[in-house]
Chains A and B, each alone.
Chain A
């Protein structure tokens, strides 16, 4: 039972991080039809930025804030300069964002070196807390809370605000939105930058959990986010949340009970879902 509780908390914390990354990816894909391969790069730069700022100011919170700012700025620039010229050309977008991923991953390597840098947890959250006789890292509980808050925030944004209304309409029919006199390209930029900021926040929160930041972590986590999007259904918010939970929990439990399968478990899950429901768990048919 104790093991179960620890694994549950670990899995939920992982799910929160995966969700931060996958949410932006999924919304961008659903609304703009852009598969953003540079998404993991924002995650990577978020991680490095937070570590860099924390090393200079000593403040974890400033680091996280800086990461969000850098992520949003990168998203803004990428969308305006590189993604916009290729709207409607799916293949070109995939290729351009792949190119950006390569350049910015190597830039990170150039700036911060090829060897992993250590990343510390904030002092406030470094302790353990006893829950029902089990000691659990405070930081993981913090991650779960952040994940839930962000999920509620996005849900409210999509369903309760005018921006969300345009976003929902944009997923269904971008032409119709424009016909109604709304400049959808501004919303595209906003969504792209917002998604990038979330991914960067994910990176900033991820590095203290694993204790280091290295240049390959963007790609590794991007693949998890891709699997979540495929499993959950493209553009579906509920699907992304459910997919993140499924992947986070499954990852921890499989790694504990049957380590050899840890490598292939994610892909097996993806294969099973695709065979059973090709559009994903919560995907719209034909989307």
Chain B
């Protein structure tokens, strides 16, 4: 029975990683295009893509929870905003030397691990999705409220403006750093999912009861997933600090968490790269719609479209863009089955 479960899990992982041969070609072309992009276009698009890279890591960290461990964490923004704030506070008060960048990253890591530990201990206590969603939402709100009321350090609702280290001030350089950051984080998360721990997480998502019967302490595995997702998310927050040079409490709101949730759903949950596709789609859609605000003022109401996309995708496209694509591919191209 264990063997059959393992082989089913193997199939799941294989399906996630399975790419027809021409995908490598497509990804290669995309990679070259992304490397050349700053030479070909203006700073607006470079900035937009830098954002996409950073937010895609935020989305992937969320996908690890939602798509692999089956956790709906509605307080995920506390890791992201926390990273941005920690970096901002360090740069604003202690200078922008490389040492300080290291300190910001270390501080964010420690904060994210501690926050994930506390969050997991409280939220996984009840052991179901609904309770977890409610509790994480409340915890996220608490962090936002603390940031809002701790004005001496965070400047409250006004937001915190800060300088960034020299090496990141060039927009084009920052673009490449962000691209590298995204690729490295994606490979690292992939590695984590392929590890024995990652497979147990898949088992928990598919059938938590069965995983418990097999003798796994599922709560502690979920805690590990939350720790990993939290730390990666915190780092993406630090990267975000480098792109925005500004932090405000918006970064800690439920809306910020929902941004990550939306990109994983739009892209396709449980695939990691779905989060990248989703982030690119959502950011480009937002950029385009805001560009249309001259046509009609309704296009300024991004949240209206945001929510509508949300409901539409959940109701009619539950597997997201990647899932839709895979269905079309398997329908038309009949790829070689793995194994």
Which residues of A approach B to under 8 Å, CB–CB?
Answer: 29, 33, 35, 82, 85-86, 90-92, 94-96, 98-107, 109-110, 219, 223, 226-227, 229-230, 234, 263-264, 266-267, 270-271, 274-275, 278-279
Q: Contact at B135–A35, with CB atoms within 8 Å? A: no
B308 sits at the interface (CB 8 A): yes
Could you list 5 further interchain pairs (A-B, Cβ under 8 angstroms) beyond the known A90-B130, A94-B72? Answer: A99-B311, A106-B301, A226-B135, A230-B131, A270-B135
Q: If A29-B130, A234-B130, A264-B142 touch, does A82 touch B315 (CB 8 Å cutoff)?
A: yes
A106 vs B255: C-alpha distance when bound (angstroms): 12
Q: Is B329 an interface residue (CB 8 A)?
A: no
Q: Is the CB of B311 within 8 A of A107?
A: no
Residue on A nearest B123 in the bound complex, by CB: A274
Q: State the Cβ distance, A143 to closest chain B Cβ, in Å.
A: 24
Which 5 pairs of residues, A with B, have the shortest CB-CB distance? A102-B307, A99-B310, A103-B307, A99-B311, A106-B303
Known: A95-B265, A102-B306. A223 touches B311 (CB 8 A): no
Compute how far the CA of A153 lies from the CA of B318 in the bound complex, rounded to whole angstroms.
40
Q: How far is the CB of A182 from chain B (nearest CB, A)?
A: 25
Instruction: Please determine whether B133 and A35 come into contact, CB atoms closer than 8 angstroms.
Output: yes
Query: Given A94-B72, A219-B254, does the pair A264, B310 have CB atoms closer than 8 Å?
Result: no
- Contact at A270–B138, with CB atoms within 8 Å? yes
CB distance from B256 to the nearest CB of A (A): 12
A263, B145: Cβ atoms closer than 8 Å: yes
In the docked arrangement, what's the CA distance between A76 and B70, Å?
Answer: 30
Contact A271 B315 (CB under 8 A): no
Give Cα distance in the complex from A155 to B337, angstroms. Answer: 59
Given the known interface contacts A219-B254, A230-B135, A275-B125, the answer about A106 and B304 at a Cβ–Cβ threshold of 8 Å is yes
Instruction: Assess whether A35 is in contact with B310, with CB atoms less than 8 Å apart.
Output: no
Within 8 A of A (CB), among B289-325: 301, 303-304, 306-308, 310-311, 314-315, 318
Whole-angstrom distance from the CB of B339 to the nearest CB of chain A?
30
On whether the beta carbons of A103 and B135 are closer than 8 Å, the reply is no
Pick 6 A–B contacts, CB within 8 A, sort by A: A96-B311, A102-B306, A102-B307, A106-B307, A223-B138, A270-B135
B235 to chain A: closest CB distance in Å?
26
Q: How far is the CA of A110 from the CA of B134 in the complex (A)?
A: 28
Chain A hits for B142, CB < 8 A: 263-264, 266-267
* Size band of the interface chain B makes with A: 35 or more
Question: Of A91, A100, A279, which is in contact with the most chain B CB atoms at under 10 Å from its CB?
Answer: A91
Partner among A82, A85, A104, A230 whose Cβ is within 8 Å of the Cβ of B134: A230
**CB under 8 Å from chain A, chain B span 226-270:** 254-255, 258, 261, 265
Bound CA–CA A86/B308 (angstroms): 17
- A103 with B146: CB separation less than 8 A: no
- State the Cβ distance, A281 to closest chain B Cβ, in Å: 13
Residues of B within 8 A of A104 (CB): 307
Measured in the bound complex, the distance between the Cα atoms of B100 and A107 in whole Å is 43
Q: B145-160, CB under 8 A of A: which get 1 and which 0?
A: 1100100000000000
Kindly state the separation between the CA atoms of A37 and B255 in the bound complex, as whole angstroms: 13
B308 closest partner in A (C-beta): A103
Q: A102-B307, A106-B303 are in contact. Are A267 and B138 (CB under 8 A)?
A: yes
* Separation of A109 and B139 alpha carbons in the complex (Å): 26
**Nearest CB of chain B from residue A84's CB, rounded to whole Å:** 11
Closest to B297 in A: A110
Q: Which A residues are CB-close (under 8 A) to B122? A: 270-271, 274-275
Residue numbers in A under 8 Å from B127 (CB-CB): 278
Q: How far is the CA of A50 from the CA of B89 in the complex (A)?
A: 43
Complex: how many Å from CA A94 to CA B74?
A: 11
**A223-B138, A223-B141 known; A95-B310 Cβ under 8 A:** yes
A90→B129 contact, CB < 8 A? yes
Specify which chain B residues have a CB less than 8 angstroms from the CB of A226 in the assembled complex.
Answer: 134-135, 137-138
Q: Which of B122, B146, B314, B315 has the most CB of A within 10 A?
A: B314
Q: From B265, which residue of chain A is reached at the shortest CB distance?
A: A95
- In whole angstroms, how far apart are the Cα atoms of A275 and B118 in the complex? 12
Verify B134–A263 contact, CB threshold 8 A.
Answer: no
**Most chain A beta carbons < 10 A, residue from B134, B149, B306:** B134
Q: Closest residue of chain A to B118, judged by CB?
A: A271
**Which A residues touch B131, using CB under 8 A?**
230, 234
